[in-house]
Amino acid sequence: MLKLSIENLLIAAWKQLELPAVAMEVHPSERPEFGDFSTNLALVGARVAGLPPRELAERLAKKLPKDAFSQLEIAGPGFINLFLHPSTIQAALQEILQMGDRFGCSKRLVPTSMQIEFVSSNPTGPLTVGHGRQAVLGDVLASLYEALGYTVSREYYFNDEGHQIDLLSRSLWARYRQLLGDSTAVPEEGYHGSYLIEIARNLKDQYGDDFQSFDEETALTFREEAVSRITTIIKDDLDQLGIEFDAWFSEGSLHRNGEVNAALESLRRKDGIYEKDGAVWLKAEENGGVKDSVLIRKDGRPTYLMVDIAYHINKQRRKFERVIDVQGADHQVEQSCVKAAMRILDYPEEFLGYAVHQFVSIKEGGQIARMSTRAGRFILLHELVNELGRDVVRYFMVARKPESHLEFNMDLARAESLDNPVYYIQYAHTRIASIFRKARALAIDPAKVDLSPLQAKAELGLIKRLDRFPEVVEEAALGFAPHLLTDYALGLARAFHAYYTEHRVIGENESLMTARLSLLSAVQTVFHRSLSILGMSAPEAM
């Protein structure tokens, strides 16, 4: 990577001045007259050097190897603008060509074994567009870390027992009785969505009028039917988005295996709990949490938080070195409490990270729709995907930074469906594929081509853009910010389309043509990698 090697040159020069280290930045120049890269090293280092920035820049410049840059300028308040030799940039392309599909791996991270938990919606209804954001966000984060070389397990945590599931069972039974002509009402707090009617119809067809009262046996039968049918629906919803989990983890198993009690004992041994008002509380506040919270209710039942802590202990026992939970912004208190528990248990601070995202609202006919699974008011994820397609939905779900509220404008999504960034990016890939179809007979080996004919500004610019890809992947992963990748892909598409219009490939003299084919091969690789991480298709033709 060009940036890395420039940083190293600057650090080496800085060391020769025998000054304490400072945090500097090297970034691609925003304007051509500022060269290829710029650094603020002389600006941030002026204080420790006790020199005016421009004078420090002069001294630094003398310490840099003479042949490293074609030109070096000190500009403005003390920026050092660096101009690269075309051969340096061409060498970066050579490196990309040699990496091929492995391009994007991190050079400075030490990849480990990681788990990403997301969606984790209880099996009480189909996924809504709100879950969709989390589903895509989690899946793309996982792919980003995989691209960096991590081993990632995608996990879905679900609860198939307890109060909400009882309500679900009772709601289903009410729908069943309604089909048989009764006026049994769905509980006020129950689940009102129409999907339960479908499931009830099946039960009616299978059992007729066998379940007349909601006794224990009925409750169990209806619960199992509801959970298994809805779990299938959820898996189908995810499948439609191209998301597959490595593990489905049952909350109930934590109770059955005694892990909840064991977790409580671990906290007790670390002096992390106390009793008050007949309940057991977590000492969250003194461990960085928002506020102390109940772990064991006065009736002896553990709270969701208690079980959640047990779950995280379980994750740690499974030897994941790093765990990321993708969650909505409404779990802030819960998150801080779990983190507090991790501190009490002396887990490393970086063990658990929360990727928090804000909510999705749907704007349709000028109206903003708020969603509630229980009330049966929501737009279903699969409706959205049916209408717009997997690629479009996935793109829009991660194209915003997670901490921004996502307004999904249905009217706009439909109207723009033929003119949106998704096709713009895919079309770039298609155009390259088309050139390669025409050039197939030439059968070049991109890794052995002489790249020196690549001298045009647009070509060197494209290479510099490609060269940034690993850095973008790394930033997007570490910052839980997949939108950096959609932004990058869009920018690369723009640069490519402009290049495509201005320059030709087929028909140029052989050395130029093969050099350009090599460049396009690298561009195609990066589009392919980007789209693959985003879980979008890279069409050969459109």
Report 210-249 residues binding RNA (CB under 7 A): none
Judged by CB under 7 A, does residue 261 bind RNA?
A: no
Q: Phi and psi at residue 323, in whole multiples of 5°?
A: -130, 130
Q: Which stretch binds RNA (CB under 7 A): 138-146, 234-242, 259-267, 326-334?
A: 326-334
Q: Which stretch binds RNA (CB under 7 A): 25-33, 98-106, 143-151, 375-383?
A: 25-33
- Closest C-alpha among 254, 277, 250, 251 to residue 264: 254
497, 528, 532, 537: residue in contact with RNA (rule CB under 7 A): 497
Judged by CB under 7 A, does residue 414 bind RNA?
A: no
Count other C-beta atoms under 10 Å from residue 123's C-beta.
21
Q: Are strands 293-296 and 322-328 parallel, antiparallel or unpaired?
A: unpaired
Between 184 and 314, whose beta carbon lies closer to RNA? 314
Q: Cα torsion at 154, 160, 163, 164 (round to 10°)?
A: 60
Judged by CB under 7 A, does residue 462 bind RNA?
A: no
C-beta separation of 165 from 251 below 8 A: no
Q: Which stretch binds RNA (CB under 7 A): 130-138, 192-200, 270-278, 462-470?
A: 270-278
Between 17 and 22, whose beta carbon lies closer to RNA? 22
Q: Which stretch binds RNA (CB under 7 A): 191-199, 341-349, 483-491, 529-537?
A: 483-491
Judged by CB under 7 A, does residue 279 bind RNA?
A: yes
Count other C-beta atoms under 10 Å from residue 51's C-beta.
18
C-beta separation of 425 from 531 below 8 A: yes
Between 79 and 211, whose beta carbon lies closer to RNA? 79
Of how many residues is the chain composed? 542
Number of residues that bind RNA (CB under 7 A): 88
Count other C-beta atoms under 10 Å from residue 539's C-beta.
14
Query: Would you say the C-alpha torsion 394, 395, 401, 404 has a positive or negative sign?
Result: negative
Whole-number minimum distance, CB 424 to RNA, in Å?
A: 4
Say whether 153 sits in a helix, a strand or coil. Answer: strand
Alpha carbon separation from 263 to 120, 312, 314, 317, 349 (Å, rounded): 21, 9, 9, 12, 18
- Closest C-alpha among 79, 7, 73 to residue 43: 79
Whole-number minimum distance, CB 178 to RNA, in Å?
A: 25
Binding mask 502-541 for RNA (x = CB under 7 A): xxxxxx--------------------------------xx
The b-or-e profile of 433-470 (16+ CB within 10 A means b, else e) is: bebeeebeeeeeebeebebebbeeebbbbbbbbbbbbb
Query: Would you say the C-alpha torsion 54, 60, 66, 70 has a positive or negative sign?
Result: negative
Whole-number minimum distance, CB 27 to RNA, in Å?
A: 8
Terminal CA-to-CA distance of the chain, rounded, Å?
Answer: 33
Report 72-101 residues binding RNA (CB under 7 A): 75-77, 79, 81
Judged by CB under 7 A, does residue 444 bind RNA?
A: no
107, 268, 291, 457: residue in contact with RNA (rule CB under 7 A): 291
Q: Which stretch binds RNA (CB under 7 A): 141-149, 254-262, 291-299, 387-395?
A: 291-299
C-beta separation of 534 from 395 below 8 A: yes
Q: Which stretch binds RNA (CB under 7 A): 104-112, 168-176, 403-411, 443-451?
A: 403-411
Whole-number minimum distance, CB 452 to RNA, in Å?
A: 20
Q: Classify residue 333 by burial, with Cβ atoms within 10 Å: 0-12, 13-18, 19+.
A: middle
Judged by CB under 7 A, does residue 203 bind RNA?
A: no
Whole-number minimum distance, CB 57 to RNA, in Å?
A: 11
Report 356-385 residues binding RNA (CB under 7 A): 356, 358-359, 370
60, 136, 305, 384: residue in contact with RNA (rule CB under 7 A): 305
Q: Which stretch binds RNA (CB under 7 A): 111-119, 261-269, 346-354, 427-435?
A: 427-435
Q: Which stretch binds RNA (CB under 7 A): 41-49, 60-68, 144-152, 257-265?
A: 41-49
405, 414, 448, 457: residue in contact with RNA (rule CB under 7 A): 405
Report 111-170 residues binding RNA (CB under 7 A): 122, 159, 162-164
Whole-number minimum distance, CB 252 to RNA, in Å?
A: 10
- Report d(CA 365, CA 373) in Å as an integer: 21
Report 166-195 residues binding RNA (CB under 7 A): none
Judged by CB under 7 A, does residue 484 bind RNA?
A: yes
- Report d(CA 195, CA 218) in Å as an integer: 19
